[in-house]
Chains A and B, each alone.
Chain A
Amino acid sequence: MRMPLAIAISIASLLAAFPAGAESERAISIATEGASPPWDGTDANGELYGYDVDVGRELCNRMKLTCSFVAQDWDGIIPALLVGKYDVIMSGMAITERRKQQIAFSIPYASGFNQFIVRKELGLDAGDTKQKVNLSTIGDREKTTIERLRSVLSGKAIGVLRSSNSEAVVKQLLGDVVTIRSYDSLDNLKLDLAAGRVDGGLADYFTWRDFLEAPGGSVAMFFGPELNGGLWGPGVGAGMRKGDRELLIKFNAALDAATKDGTIKALSLKWFKMDISPAVSK
């Protein structure tokens, strides 16, 4: 089993021997998924855009670092960071305990929330879509809401992004009553929603809002309360390798400054048409 790998690796070292720069004025590369606008998307020229990209550029300007953005599929985004393919993840990634075991997070640069959508033709009662449910503090009211979600969605096929928190939440809350379909990209999940192959999906609110406003999205609607907390953690942060403490400190300083002077809020309004900047840290 090891033999071909040993050969492969010796070729690898011959083919791609690039030393890792540990110099002070290093150029950093930032990975983003590029398939979840308005967080991050890819335009027709293959260029990345979105809130993640704009915040990243802003922070790099403040840190006086040269930054480049690379696209990376979601299910490999943490392993590839760990092996050093890039230095930072900025991809609408929620700060969670499970991820913190692997990587370090900056302070939050957004506090998003999540929601189910379902296909309209199912004729489900959406309930109160403005109700806010924090899964970290479950009381009687939240329990009733979750029970309602379970009974209405029972037997439906729910699409989620592979290795996302939404996937974990659906498994936790509804795993025994729905069929979970895990997709490689949200774009593919949207295609299947439009085609009617899945009945609904759970993901970030803004991803859905953009989708529902787009031509193919008229088939679906929001369903159930706005969800956050729980497995989603305190908000969205930039991920870095745990060993990269110097970069993390720089990042946090720049982010703190950008939050305080309202830059982050402005970017949030630009992309989300709503202020989801994190509360200014004290």
Chain B
Amino acid sequence: MQLTFKRAAEEKTESQRRPHLRTLTDLERGEHGVVERLDLPERAARRLMELGFVPGAWVTAAHTAPGGGPTVYRVDGSEIALRKETAAKIYLRSGGRRHS
């Protein structure tokens, strides 16, 4: 399985080490990407996977709440709102098409 569960202490270092990796927060509205892995504590990752954010899933960014609040993502027929801090922990596969 290509998933990695990180402990809370290690969370920050990952994105700092490899800044070129794209996450959900890099998606513009209407743009989509394919989930690569979730860099979150196991419980949180499990809940997000139950909601559709599994590796290989297509995610489209939709509305962002006014004032830079949580963003709504379309995944597998549902719309799920995530805060930026959570979306930044969901990494996308590199390459791939843009705009559906």
Do these two chains interact?
no
